[in-house]
Amino acid sequence: MNVAILGAGNVAWHLSKAFIMAGHPVRQIWNRTVEKAADLSFEIGGNSIADLANLKEEIDLIVITVNDEAIEKVASSLNPKPHQIVVHTSGSTSIEVLRPYASNCGVIYPLQTFSKEVPVDFSKIPVFIEGSNMEITNKLVEIFKCITSKVEFANSAQRMNLHISAVFACNFTNHLYSIAADLLREHQLNFEYLKPLILETANKVMNADPADVQTGPARRNDQITMDKHLAMLSNDTDKQELYRTISQRIVKMYHDNQA
């Protein structure tokens, strides 16, 4: 299976290496910024192209890894051959965006956060597959079984739900880490102190329902402690309101229905 990667961002860097390790050579790399395509092609030993018209007929799988808002524009610039499959990697974009431009199309959504400088083990990443028909779905499943043992089907609505859940679990959580780091810096304290706590919290949900391992003042409905925290945040109303909103939601979840 010969692969072309369109895009040279974080997903492209990791996915291209995963394809190669699984025995699917990445022959061509395209990116709107030619230098970025050249950097990635140099990294993996492929060839960069400046024009989508230069995609070779030998390519079997065309993988669009650009930002969501650019997917349709890139797809509309393609003229895929009958044997070529065109896919995107977005969690929040429907397969329908590709159908006008490729009869054989699909979605491959790796549920992970990617940074170029941080290695990932793709064999442990769940990849959610959707194809324009059962034949394409089966082909994509077979390709990714060589990359990860966690291959699942998900339609566009299911994939959107996965993406929303991932935003809460990953993106919002990381933002809360950033807030915690800011609060510590204000008092000349190091974020390193929180890392054992962060790891223990993450480890707990590996083997339990998150709702069952919730702790903290809001879980106990400890209003005295919450009021002290809110008072300390009085000089930053945004943080104060965020603390209040999350705390109220936790209290409501565990205490509002108690007698």
Q: Which residue carries 């054989």 as its tokens? A: 104
Predicted pLDDT at 84: 97
Predicted pLDDT at 22: 94
Q: pLDDT-based confidence at 58, cuts 50/70/90? A: very high
**Is the pLDDT reported for residue 259 higher than 70?**
no
Helix (H/G/I), strand (E/B), else coil: 162: helix
Predicted pLDDT at 220: 96
Q: pLDDT-based confidence at 258, cuts 50/70/90? A: low
Spell out the domain ranges in the chain.
3-154, 160-255
Cross-strand partners of 153:
129
Q: What is the mean pLDDT of the chain?
A: 95
Q: State percent of the chain over pLDDT 70.
A: 99
Report which residue type is found at 195. Answer: K
- Domain boundaries 160-255, CATH class: mainly alpha
Q: Is the distance from CB of 18 to CB of 119 less than 8 angstroms?
A: no
**Rounded-to-integer distance, Cα 234 and Cα 240, Å:** 6
Helix (H/G/I), strand (E/B), else coil: 86: strand
Report which residue type is found at 180. Answer: A
Sign of the four-CA dihedral 71, 73, 74, 75: positive
Q: What is the DSSP letter of 147?
A: T
Six-digit token pair at 241? 């309101």
Mean pLDDT of 111-128: 91
User: Residue 128, exposed/middle/buried by CB under 10 A (0-12, 13-18, 19+)?
Assistant: buried
Predicted pLDDT at 222: 97
- The length of the chain, given as a count of residues: 259
Predicted pLDDT at 256: 78
Mean pLDDT of 178-192: 97
Asked if CATH classification 2.160.10.10 holds for the domain at 3-154, the reply, yes or no, is: no
Q: Which helix (H) or strand (E) holds 219?
A: helix 217-220
